[in-house]
Amino acid sequence: MPTLASHRKSRTRSGVGTNSPAVGVTTAAIASVTLLSTQGAAAAPAEPNPSVEEVQKKVDDLYRQAGSATQQYNKAKTATAKQKSTVDRVRDNVAKSADKLNEARRTLGSYAATQYREGTVAPTAALIFADSPQSFLEQKEVTDRLAERRQGAVADFQSQQADLARQRERATESLESLADSQTSLRTSKETVQKKLAEARTLLTRLTSEERARLAALERKKEDEARREAEAKSKAAAHAAARAAERERQERQERRERQEQPSAAGPESPAATGAGTTGTGTTGTDAGAGTAGATGSTAGGAAGGAAGGTPSSAGSAYATKAAKVLAFARAQIGKPYVWGASGPSSYDCSGLTQAAWKVAGVELPRTTWDQANTGTRVATDGLLPGDLVFFYDDVSHVGIYIGDGMMIHAPKPGANVREESIYYMPIHGSVRPA
C-alpha cells in the first residue's frame, strides 16, 4: 500500500527550502551592507597631504634625531673598540695564566712522583739505617729542602689557580660589556637608518614644484641666518670700536691731569718766592712730576708685561686654530656620512675631531664628550677655531671661523660647508686648547 510520505517536498537541513524568499532577502541585505560599506569608505575624507613647510619641519626634526642617534652610535662604536681591545688583552692574560698553572702542575706532579718512588721513611728509621750521624744529617737536610720545594710548588700552584680564576672572571665581565656595546651599536645604527628612511620617504613624495619650493625655503633660512650673523658681527665691531675710543679718551684725560701740576703760572708761589726756597720748591715739584711720570711709565710697562702672558697664550691658540681652519677648509665639498670621520666623508663630530687632531689636540669622538673638553666660552667671545654646539641634546657641532660663521658637516645629503652659526639654536661653545 503506497505511503503518503512519497508526496512530501524535500527540505534543507535548516528547514528553509532552496526557493525560499528568505534566501533572496538575506542575499540582498548582505549586498546592501557591502555596498554601503564601500560607499562609506569611498566617502571618508582622505588625509590631507602635509604642506611643504610641514615637510621641512618634519625632515629637519628627523635629521636632528638621526644626528643624536649618530652620536650614540659613535659612542657605542668607541666603547666597542675599547672593550674589544680589553677582551683581547684579558684573553692573552688568561692564556699566560693557564700556561703558568700547567707548569706549576707539572712541577707538583714531579715532586709527587719522586715522593712515591722513594717512599716515606720515619726519622728514627733513617737514623738507624744511616751509615753515620753525619750522613743522616746530610740526608735530612736534602729531605728538608725537597719538602720546602714541594710546599712552595703547592703554594705556587694554588696561587696560579686563583689568578687564573680571577682572569677568567674578568674575561667574562669584559665579554658581557662588549656584548652590551655591540647591542647598543646595532640599536643606534637601526635608529639612524630608520630616521633617515622616514626623511627620504617624505622627500620622495614631493612633486617637482614642491621640491623647488622646499629648496627656496632652505635658501631663505640660510640667508636669514647669514644676515643675522653679519648684523651681530657689525654690532660687535661697533661695540669694540666704541670701547677702544673710550679707552683712548680716558688715556688722554689721564695724561692731561698728570701734566697740569707742572704748568706753573706767573702768579704761583714758586715764581714769587726767594731764590733758594723757590729753587727747592721747584725742584721738589719737578721731582714729584718726574716720579709721577716714572710711575706712569712703570705702570704701563707692568700692564704690558701682564698683558704679555694672555697675548702669548692667545698667539699659541691662534697658531693651532690656523691649522684647524686650514684643514677644515680643505674638507669643504666632501659629503656628510653619519658615523664617518674621514678622510673622504665626515659627520659633524668626526670633522671637528679630525681638524683638531692636525693641531695636536686629541678630541673625543662624540659631540657630548667634545662639549666637556677645554674651556667654555660665551657666544660673543668666540675666536676662530672654537667649537660651537647646537640643540638641547648637543647633537651637532661646527668649527667657528669668525664673523658669525662656521665650517661644519651639516646633515645627510649635504656637503661640508660654511654656514652661519645662527642657522640652528646654539647650545654652547668651548675652546679646545
Quote the longest CA-to-CA distance of the chain. 181
End-to-end CA distance of the chain: 121
| Residue 396 appears among annotated catalytic residues | yes
Query: What's the CA gap between 188 and 242, in Å, rounded?
Result: 51
**Residues facing 390 on adjacent strands:** 396, 426
How many Cβ atoms are within 10 Å of 367's Cβ, its own excluded? 27
Query: What's the CA gap between 266 and 284, in Å, rounded?
Result: 18
Query: What's the CA gap between 430 and 120, in Å, rounded?
Result: 78
Q: Among residues 7, 238, 348, 427, which one is catalytic?
A: 348
| Residue 7 appears among annotated catalytic residues | no
| Residue 427 appears among annotated catalytic residues | no
Catalytic residues: 348, 396, 408
